[in-house]
Chains A and B, each alone.
Chain A
């Protein structure tokens, strides 16, 4: 169904580059010299616009709209027509689009030092952004000579509190994994394989890798578990809580098949639940099994989607033996999800972080585990606010893909990504240079880290630990008392 309209102006030199770049079949060549626009196939991925040498192409929202109606909007009607024709579940990708669900990050303002204490200049004084995440024992131990014994379980050491979210090989291309892995190594942070296994060529990035164990158990074997610093058990993700995954057989080709340990051409179905975890005590057993398989040398992360009762769920996870809890909020992205689920299930990450942090404190176990937040983190200020609300660190997925060229056209599920990201098409994959990609990722995270240092310095904080859960650094605007109460912050001016 037509959503966008493609136009060109007189500066077009008919080089036909746009048609070669378009992977969706929206721009075709007619008779070898004229352009044919199939508007209904356009996803507004901006590939043609970016590569047009004369700037001749325009992609706009189609101005032919359905009649204005205060209840049924244009999209509503289009979706009804589509479903009436196809009998299908609507699929979509990237993060939620609930238009009336607030982005609380935008309603939170930060503090700065004035008079009573000095701000600190990050260019002149050390400004520490290193974070250690993992479990902590309740007490120190000393040997017979009174020397402190290192009784800390395995930790992840992050030079900056920003990691890359789980995105699976298969859903995204090997080049994306390469870029993420080598950027993580350069940045001193971690990337996450997602549930599609780890390509052998990336084993060398072991020290910066987190491997995921999801309900499909694709690509999970002993070497896989031990070729990482941490293992993440994925229970759910913010874009589709309660829902499994489905990687179409078309994407299960060559190395994807080998890495996933799924026969070529066969759909890879991740069940909605882990069929060995029907309850919290089952989770504790899986955590322990993984720890045993890795000789207690790896941290175990349990990733859950932010849902209504996230606080008691997180508390249960903390007591299951997990070292780190990863919480993925309502706005978290995905390669493919049923649209209704994506836009209607779960809660915003800001509220989830605050309520989990508070609950773990009430139960006196906050210092025992670490919290990693994700789901719609767009910039350094979001990172900063997430940490001040109570997270130890954050993960970014969509933002990382944007650094690699993604323009959030939300067509990942088609497998035709024009930017070579969410595709297994060898021709399209070549469009992403993993080295250049890694450089952009390093630039992005370094820039954010510099900004975080700047904001910290302004507040007189010179170590990121002193920011964690430091809610006095935050004030809210345009919120009601309940929202402020859950976030645990005051209104601006208070």
Chain B
């Protein structure tokens, strides 16, 4: 059977997110509880979590979570990293065996920083330098897969139900100000842990529920700009598009949402002149990155989170607030189970991004 990346697998899903605007770090317990209530939106073939603020002692270093199929893949990847980065720390990621998660690859974590002289010679910034290196590992080292590579953040994912994945990775032992979770319902067996979600590049993580009909148009467009879609999943291509539009093209996250879930021309026609020109420009300029078909996504980034629905709202997505905490989920039940009485609960409109950031970042 072909594994994920050799074949495109469509999935239904559950997503959930918690964001503490005051920067308070909470354990993974709550997000596990939230995603677990949507057990029947997954089918045991993929679950995962992303969290920000979990590595304060190493916050200046890129944290790499890597899956290896074999020891030789690990040796090769470590040689690759050693040539390009200072490896500050490395260890196996601690796991808990419960019998519910099986066929685990070797799971390692590295804290690294680019070697200064190589970084300077490359004429790249450290973000681009690191993203190029991780894309290279995924592309060229057989049996090695970089799961996440941002700073002070990490992705924990596996083939299994999300609550079992949480236990496996002992995520209750981590504390972060931002959490997202994903439960997957793929239509056939991915056969590979890397295919689970969240998907991540640098500080960006994406969990997604949906199946985009523009997939191949988007994939072929983003691959022009140095990305390589190895998993053939929607989440992967959405992540790369967001990275390209924000980091390389310099769009704000809001502008980025107006490209990928662009308003209809008929809606644009009703705007005032300035807005009409702005929306038209973005649609014309980035027409290859319009995403059609159902999606609801939670985008995690350093200091913030964005929730976005496709423009027809073909997938459920609920948002809620309680004090300084913001919740997003596929189902209201998954919010109520961890916060019974939110101050406000609402369903964001299709194409209207909800963006939350740390209060201290806002003040800056």
Binding partners A and B:
yes
User: Which residues in A have some Cβ–Cβ distance to B below 8 Å?
Assistant: 113, 116-118, 120, 125-126, 128, 130, 132, 136-137, 139-140, 142, 148, 150, 152, 155, 361, 364, 366-367, 459-463, 465-473
Name the A residues within 8 Å of B294 (CB-CB): 117-118, 460
| CA of A142 to CA of B249, assembled, Å | 11
B287: chain A residues at CB < 8 Å are 132, 465, 468
Residue of A whose beta carbon sits closest to that of B248:
A139
Convert B284-305 into 0s and 1s, putting 1 for each residue whose CB lies closer than 8 angstroms to a CB of A.
1101101111100000000000
Residues of A within 8 A of B288 (CB): 367, 465, 468-469
B210 part of interface (Cβ distance < 8 Å): yes
Are B220 and A469 touching (Cβ within 8 A)? yes
Known: A118-B314, A469-B221. A460 touches B215 (CB 8 A): no
A120 to B314, CA, bound (A): 10
Residues of B within 8 A of A (CB): 8, 10-12, 187, 210-218, 220-221, 223-225, 249-251, 255, 262, 264-266, 277-278, 281-285, 287-288, 290-294, 311-312, 314
**Contact A463 to B290, CB < 8 A, known contacts A150-B277, A155-B284:** yes
- The listed residue (B12, B215, B255, B314) touching A470 by CB distance below 8 A is B215
CB distance from A367 to the nearest CB of B (A): 6
Chain A contacts of B314 at CB under 8 A? Answer: 117-118
Q: Is the CB of A461 within 8 A of B293?
A: yes
Starting from the known contacts A116-B12, A117-B211, A469-B221, 9 additional A-B residue pairs (CB-CB under 8 Å) come to: A116-B187, A117-B212, A128-B264, A139-B249, A152-B284, A463-B262, A466-B293, A469-B216, A469-B220
Contact assessment for B285 and A140 in the assembled complex, using a CB-CB cutoff below 8 Å: yes
Given A125-B312, A152-B285, A465–B217 Cβ distance below 8 Å?
Answer: yes
- Chain B CB within 10 A, most for which of A366, A459, A465, A469: A465
- Partner among B12, B214, B251, B266 whose Cβ is within 8 Å of the Cβ of A466: B214
Cβ-defined contact, A152 with B281, below 8 A: yes
Find the residue from B12, B225, B292 having the highest chain A CB count within 10 A: B292
Contacting pair B293 A364 (CB below 8 A): no
- CA A179 – CA B218 in complex, angstroms? 38
Contact of A139 among B211, B220, B250, B292 (CB under 8 A): B250
Give 8 nearest A-B pairs by CB, closest first: A466-B214, A460-B213, A472-B216, A117-B211, A470-B217, A465-B287, A466-B292, A116-B10
Asked whether A126 lies within 8 Å of B266 as measured between CB atoms, the reply is yes
Contacts of B250 in A (CB 8 A): 139-140, 142
Docked pose: A471 CA to B215 CA in angstroms: 9
A470–B223 alpha-carbon span in the complex (Å): 13
Q: Are A117 and B249 in contact (CB under 8 A)?
A: no
Q: Which chain A residue shows the least CB distance to B221?
A: A367
Contacts of A132 in B (CB 8 A): 283-284, 287
Task: Across the interface, name the chain B residue whose C-beta is closest to A360.
Answer: B224
Q: Which chain B residues lie closer than 8 Å to A118 at the CB level?
A: 294, 314
Q: Is the CB of B224 within 8 A of A367?
A: yes
Question: Are B213 and A150 in contact, CB atoms less than 8 angstroms apart?
Answer: no
B214 touches A470 (CB 8 A): yes
Contact of A140 among B213, B216, B217, B249 (CB under 8 A): B249
Are B213 and A461 in contact, CB atoms less than 8 angstroms apart? yes
Chain A residues with CB under 8 A of B216 = 469-473
CB proximity of B268 to chain A, nearest CB, Å: 11
Bound-state Cα–Cα, A155 to B285, Å? 11
* Chain B, residue nearest A126 (CB): B264
Write the nearest CB–CB distance from B35 to chain A, whole angstroms.
Answer: 21
Distance in Å: Cβ of A263 to nearest Cβ of chain B: 45
Contacting pair B281 A148 (CB below 8 A) = yes
CA distance A152 to B8 in the complex (A): 35
For the complex, what is the distance from the CA of A197 to the CA of B282, rounded to whole Å? Answer: 36
Taking the closest CB of chain A, its distance from the CB of B170, in whole angstroms, is 33
15 A-B pairs in the complex with CB atoms less than 8 angstroms apart: A116-B12, A117-B211, A117-B213, A130-B265, A136-B285, A140-B250, A148-B255, A460-B294, A461-B213, A462-B292, A463-B262, A466-B213, A466-B218, A467-B214, A469-B217
Nearest CB of chain B from residue A297's CB, rounded to whole Å: 17
Once bound together, how far apart are the Cα atoms of A140 and B250, in whole Å? 8
Residues of A within 8 A of B284 (CB): 132, 136, 152, 155
* Contact among A126, A152, A472 for B215, CB-based, below 8 A: A472
- In the complex, what distance in Å separates the CA atom of A214 from the CA atom of B294? 47
Q: Name the residue on A nearest B277 (C-beta).
A: A150
Q: What is the chain A residue whose CB lies nearest that of B287?
A: A465
Question: Whose C-beta in chain B lies nearest to the C-beta of A390?
Answer: B220
Question: Are A466 and B224 in contact, CB atoms less than 8 angstroms apart?
Answer: no
Expressed in whole angstroms, the minimum distance between the Cβ of B88 and any Cβ of chain A is 35
- How far apart sit A465 and B282, CA to CA, in the bound complex (Å)? 13
Does A116 contact B214, Cβ atoms closer than 8 Å? no
* Interface contact B220-A465, CB-CB below 8 Å: no
Q: A126-B266, A468-B217 are in contact. Are A463 and B249 (CB under 8 A)?
A: no
A364 touches B187 (CB 8 A): no
Bound Cα distance from A126 to B215, whole angstroms: 20
Q: Which residues of A contact B293 (CB under 8 A)?
A: 117, 460-461, 466
CB distance from B310 to the nearest CB of A (A): 9
Q: Is the CB of B217 within 8 A of A466?
A: yes
Interchain CB contact under 8 A, B278 and A459 = no
Complex: A125 Cα to B278 Cα, angstroms: 24
Tell me how far the C-beta of B277 lies from the nearest C-beta in chain A, rounded to whole angstroms. Answer: 6
Give, as a whole number of angstroms, the nearest-CB distance from B287 to chain A: 4
- A124 to B148 Cα, complex, angstroms: 41
Q: Are A150 and B281 in contact (CB under 8 A)?
A: yes
Provide the residues of chain B in CB contact with A150, threshold 8 Å: 277, 281
A225 shortest CB reach to chain B, Å: 24
* Assembly CA distance A213 to B266 (angstroms): 36
Bound complex: CA A316 to CA B182 (Å): 46
Contacts of A142 in B (CB 8 A): 250
Q: How far is the CB of A472 from the nearest CB of chain B, in Å? A: 4
- Complex-state Cα separation, A161 to B291, whole angstroms: 19
* B214 near A461: Cβ-Cβ < 8 Å: yes
List of A residues within 8 angstroms of B277 by Cβ: 150
Chain B nearest CB: distance from A492 CB in Å? 15
Please indicate the chain A residues that have their CB under 8 angstroms from the CB of B262 in the complex: 463
| Chain A residue nearest in CB terms to B288 | A367
Residues of chain B with a CB closer than 8 A to A468's CB: 217, 287-288
Q: B251 contacts which chain A residues (CB < 8 A)?
A: 140
Partner of A361, one of B211, B224, B281, B285: B224
- Across-interface contacts of A152 in B (CB, < 8 A): 281, 284-285
Closest to A370 in B: B287
- Give the complex CA separation of A139 and B249 in angstroms: 6
Q: Identify which of A128, A140, A361, A473 contacts B220 (C-beta below 8 A).
A: A361
Given A140-B285, A465-B287: A361 and B213 interface contact (C-beta under 8 Å):
no
Please report the C-alpha to C-alpha distance between residue A125 and residue B213 in the assembled complex, in whole angstroms.
16
